Structures are given as C-alpha cells and as structure tokens.
Structure 1
Amino acid sequence: MILYHTEPDSPVIEISVEGKITDHDLREAIERMRGDLELNGKTRVLERIEHFTGIEPKALWTDITLGVSVARKVTRAAVVADAVWIRASMHLARFFTKAEVKAFHVNELEQARVWINT
C-alpha cells in the first residue's frame, strides 16, 4: 500500500509504504508526483517504509520504466525505514537520481522531516 500526502504550496511530498507495493498503487503515486513536479518545480520527498513485504513484478518494471524519470527531478529525499537493508541500500540511489538522499530509522521521523524542509 502506498499513501501519498502533500500540503498546499509545499514542495515536500510524503509517501508512506507499508506491506506489498502493487502496480496500481505505484502508478497512481508516480502520476501524482508528476503533477506535483509540474506544479512546484523543485520537489523534496520523504518516504516512510514500514513492514515492507515486497513489490509485484509488474510494479518493479513500472518503477524502472516510469519512476526513474520522475526520481531524477527530485532535489532531496529522506527515506525513513524500519529495515536495516532498506536504509543501507540508499547509496544505490545515486544511480537513479541527483537528489541528496539521507536514510533515517523509523524512530527518527521528526528529524527526517526537519532535514527534508531545510
């Protein structure tokens, strides 16, 4: 499941991922992000990932074919995750985006919000 949240006139998008990512949910999130990027220009993303159980193969392909082009337009990204392997893999983001990326543990959510807004 993907929950997508923005505040009016804010360049920050908060995305919550829990459980398994479906192709439908991912496509909806990518389309909303495209719209926010067109509206706000420079966009920052805070992604909270908890209890992640996987991604549908079709969604993985969608992420590669549609998501990477959107990710390249993000200027800063905070990833807040409960799984060590997700936080550790954030160094791979440099292959998909020029954004400054920083990983946080779930108990550091408020620090991530402060960082994404500075």
Structure 2
Amino acid sequence: MRSRGFTLIEVLVAMAIFALAAIAVINATTSNIHSLSILEQKTLADWVAANKLNDAQYQDLKDGAQGTETQAGVEWYWRIKKLKTEDKDFSALEVTVSRSSDFSHPEAVLRSYFEVQS
C-alpha cells in the first residue's frame, strides 16, 4: 500500500486561502482599533461639553464665553453660544468642543434649551 501526501498545488492553494483569511482578520482588527480611538475622543469631548453646559447654567457663563479644559490628559477648547429659538419664551445654549483653538473640526456640539426668565 502506498501512502499519499499533499501535492505542491494543494499546499499552495491552502496557504493562499490562509493568507487571505489572515489579511481579512488583520484589516478588521486595525479598523476596530481606529474606531475605538475615535469613539474615545468623541466621548471625552461630550464630557467636556456636558460639563460646560452645567457650568453655564449654574455659574452664569455668558454668550461667547470660551476657554480650555483638560480631560484625560487632553486639552480641549470650548465655546458657548446663546441661540434664539422660534419660541420667544425659550433660548438655547450651544457648547462646541474641539481639539483645535479655531474650532475648525468640532469633536462635539451639545445644545440645551431653557425658559427665558422675564
């Protein structure tokens, strides 16, 4: 009885299939890591925006107020705008948060509505 092994073609085809599968796994992992980094930055920016909205409501920060805040070792720039709404009894505060001082690429924009005090 003669034992039979794999031919060279069969081994090459198996290696090609494995290589394609490995490349797909590496691409998926890389994409996941990149998305996780973006999600982390967005979350930190949202926290800064929420903090500044609270500050604006309880410390009476004025329209146009801006500054910096450090969150998780990252310096964030924030700016507050007061917006008019269609209903004259309500106004809105909008906080924009960015990693750049010119706010060219905002990471988070959070808006809160409140009743205008007469």
Common topology (TM > 0.5): no
User: TM-score band, normalised by the shorter chain?
Assistant: under 0.3
Q: Which of the pair is proportionally richer in strand?
A: 1
User: When the two structures are superposed, what TM-score results if normalisation uses the length of structure 2?
Assistant: 0.24
Higher relative contact order (CA 8 A, sep 6+): 1
Greater C-alpha radius of gyration? 2
